[in-house]
Structure 1
């Protein structure tokens, strides 16, 4: 199938991936290849493609630009904005400055939909060229319910009736815009920053959108369960992903492991802090900060994974670091510094060694505190404790230690 029309593509990959646990969805391996790679290779191999721009988060631009599998048709990798609309606007600006002849149609695609193929792409391009704008859609299989307001404040909801599915479809991407409508579309993006898709913006300025047949393969990666289900459609023979595939599909700078280990002597005054929790019945640990060895170990592991040195180098025990500073502040700043070089924590395993206080009843709270500071789900933090078995200063109650792998 060939539409005969040329096209440019903006691939939006700037999302936070919160429902995926904060992982960059665009680089999640799907059936052996990163999600973004599936889309880029499909567009690059489709007849009529002119230029492709990838829009991603500011801290990912350098890593994306260095990916070894980026096709030659990709003319720019640029930072996006806080919303989808501002990210698309950034992509449009990059296309305006990019070399090469503009296509007759502009396509905008979500990187979280790796199942795009030439058939869908060309259907959208042909319809957009003929009618001005187009989007792929699929019928809705599930029954739709209206949710009634719940005055009781309960976690459950009540149905106020069903929605007639007749005349209702689910929109997918890529969505296409004929070149003559792109200037008006770009202007509308400035005022409509909350739009969840591009055809909504077009409709708001009076451009009719032609609907074409979409594909089940274009299911969006939203929840962790989607990884295998989408992979099964893209590679039915083996949708699973081995660890070796993960390593081979991601750039080397994305896989990091950090180790942190910190110990402080037990003092005689103050309040003990461990993992962001206060233990008023126990004296504070001696140190320049509040002495929270748990947060220190986690921060040190993250700093090491990011190649930024160590905790003492970034936050020396001098006047440069306020005396008694909360260790949560140190960890939060460590997270920011790691993110600035493209490193995000995924999982933490930590072991606290202390003869007192008894930590078992508080490990869940400690784990939740660490997860909150790192911005990852609680189930990605494993917090364990040991009494020290009367060995060393920790076992004798003279010190408390924590080791962390991140």
Structure 2
């Protein structure tokens, strides 16, 4: 069913909480374990029940878990009666989809109860991705080295992690399409799918990826439920709970030369860039974004172009100093995002080197740096190939300060 263009689509959330939670051990299924004073299921459900774009929520529980469910989850106008799941995740999702049959849902978000830290922003992105593509799953970069284990627990092939993504929930679909995919799997006796994106792709659908979140952890192993470990993690997160975002924008005209410097990387080009220091428009925009998040002026205030010592200087030192100021304030760089605007040079062949160099300068993992490029469809100074522009955003986390209203 296509969502009407005249109104937002009707969205339902389906939360899978029917598992036995064997890997987490303990005296009850992990979804009912205490997590900071409430059941993990309650924390997972609240993100969807309180979200303004979610119309209804269905929770699938295991047979015999009714008492645990009612002790964990309070009544809510959006909440449907719990559905009873099956022996597999696939069967449980099918039961949840059936429970939503009369809800008039156009989009359904399928979420694991074992991910209690889902943010409102991630839910927004899931809804938007499903509306745009029909099927989408959140994904994050793989930062660990991944290998294939061979017989006898020996290390085998190391996989190229630049091509790998770690998938999360909520996974988002047009409701009718996901129902049809599950029905086909049931007819053909296909079982064992561990996530709905895989089932949907098997049924012939295309599944888009959208940006997941590092904080959207799946709690599975016993050590993750250690009370003191959770308290330490909570204290560490709250200690840097003042999340700020800054933006930066810069423009430089082309001039004589045979290369440009973008993101700290030398790129051959028929022209150079004219302007402050080495005219690295990308690093200038990123520096302003970091300083903006700090509320500490701009690049011109810290490194005046009138001061001749900055003439021809490497712009990496500007970004490094801005990041040093964040750390001096007790904060961390959470993410840097850059968009370069111009017809040429092409950024794609240099993107990964730029990400690596920016990460090196800022002292962050490369997974926390985004680099993109766009054109202005031949409009304006950039479209006329008179120069380049760059937009940037920086997200930082700082300690709460005195007088901050939490």
Q: TM-score range by the shorter chain?
A: 0.5 to 0.7
Matched, 1:213 2:211: yes
Give the superposition deviation at 1:222.
0.7
Matched, 1:197 2:177: no
Match of 1:35 in 2: 40
Q: Evaluate the alpha carbon distance shift between residue 30 and residue 64 of structure 1 in structure 2; reply closer, same or farther with a 3 A threshold.
A: same
SS of match in other structure, 1:76:
coil
Match of 2:318 in 1: none
Match of 2:140 in 1: 138
Match of 2:55 in 1: 50
Matched, 1:86 2:91: yes
Q: Evaluate the alpha carbon distance shift between residue 27 and residue 202 of structure 1 in structure 2; reply closer, same or farther with a 3 A threshold.
A: same
Distance 2:224 2:207 in 1: 29
Superimposed CA distance per residue, residues 331-377 of structure 1 (whole angstroms, 9 cap, x where no aligned partner): xxxxxxxxxxxxxxxxxxxxxxxxxxxxxxxxxxxxxxxxxxxxxxx
Output the TM-score relative to the length of structure 1.
0.52
Q: Evaluate the alpha carbon distance shift between residue 135 and residue 34 of structure 1 in structure 2; reply closer, same or farther with a 3 A threshold.
A: same
Match of 1:128 in 2: 130
In structure 2, stretches of 5+ residues that fail to align are: 1-6, 240-406
Give the superposition deviation at 1:235.
6.5
Distance 2:171 2:193 in 1: 14
Give 4+ residue runs of structure 1 displaced > 4 Å after superposition. Answer: 228-239
In structure 1, stretches of 5+ residues that fail to align are: 151-156, 240-406
Match of 2:182 in 1: 186
- 8 Å CA contact 1:61–1:78 kept in 2: the answer is no
Deviates most, 78-87 or 189-198: 189-198
Give the superposition deviation at 1:60.
0.3
- What does residue range 3-402 of structure 1 map to in structure 2 within 5 Å? 4-22=8-26, 23-65=28-70, 67=72, 69-96=74-101, 98=102, 101-150=103-152, 157-190=153-186, 191-227=189-225, 236=236
- 8 Å CA contact 2:14–2:58 kept in 1: the answer is yes
SS of match in other structure, 1:181:
helix
Q: Evaluate the alpha carbon distance shift between residue 24 and residue 166 of structure 1 in structure 2; reply closer, same or farther with a 3 A threshold.
A: same
- 8 Å CA contact 1:116–1:217 kept in 2: the answer is yes
Superimposed CA distance per residue, residues 104-140 of structure 1 (whole angstroms, 9 cap, x where no aligned partner): 2111110011011111011011111110101111111
SS of match in other structure, 2:55:
strand
SS of match in other structure, 2:100:
helix
- 8 Å CA contact 1:37–1:70 kept in 2: the answer is no
Q: Evaluate the alpha carbon distance shift between residue 59 and residue 124 of structure 1 in structure 2; reply closer, same or farther with a 3 A threshold.
A: same
Give the superposition deviation at 1:34.
1.3
Superimposed CA distance per residue, residues 203-249 of structure 1 (whole angstroms, 9 cap, x where no aligned partner): 0011111111111221111112213566666665679xxxxxxxxxx
Match of 1:362 in 2: none
SS of match in other structure, 1:218:
coil
Output the TM-score relative to the length of structure 2.
0.52
Deviates most, 138-147 or 195-204: 138-147
- 8 Å CA contact 1:84–1:193 kept in 2: the answer is no
Aligned length: 228
Give the superposition deviation at 1:167.
1.5
Q: If you compute each CA radius of gyration, which structure gives the higher value, 1 or 2?
A: 1
**Alignment root-mean-square deviation, CA:** 2.3
Q: Evaluate the alpha carbon distance shift between residue 136 and residue 82 of structure 1 in structure 2; reply closer, same or farther with a 3 A threshold.
A: same
